[in-house]
Amino acid sequence: MSIDFHSLSLKELKDIQSQVAKAIASFEDRVKKKALAELHEKARELGFSLEELTGTPVARKRTPSSAKYANPANPTDTWTGRGRKPRWFAEALAKGKRPEDMAI
């Protein structure tokens, strides 16, 4: 395949450049994924995980917190009890309500 670059416009050359950059990036990603899969397989054959061999901590999967409190005026407005108190919660406390009164 031979392309006469001298006969192409600037727009056509930039399009080709963009396509080449994308092809290179996707090629590198494919090679990295293949290498990583091979390393995982080899570590598994030896009775280890790749994370154990590299000393990389295994990422914990976090589950979303369930709501513990609901707004008395609007029950769909909830709060998990973590982080900053919502305005409706703070206002209810200021009016004398207890957190248990708003518990779900």
Q: What is the pTM of this model?
A: 0.42
Amino acid, res. 64: P
Amino acid, res. 6: H
- DSSP β-ladder status, 78-79 and 69-70: antiparallel
In the 8-state DSSP scheme, what is residue 84? S
CA–CA distances in Å: residue 36 to residues 29, 50, 61, 83? 10, 9, 21, 38
The CB-side HSE value for 69 (13 A sphere, CA atoms) comes to: 22
Band (pLDDT 50/70/90 cuts) for residue 93 is very high
Q: Which residue has the tokens 């990036």?
A: 25
What is the tens place of the pLDDT at every residue in 2-31? 888 899 999 999 999 999 999 998 999 999
What is the tens place of the pLDDT at every residue in 36-52? 999 999 999 999 988 88
Largest CA-CA distance found in the chain, in angstroms, rounded: 81
Tell me what pLDDT residue 56 has: 83
Structure tokens at 42: 């080899």
Tell me what pLDDT residue 17 has: 96
Tell me what pLDDT residue 75 has: 87
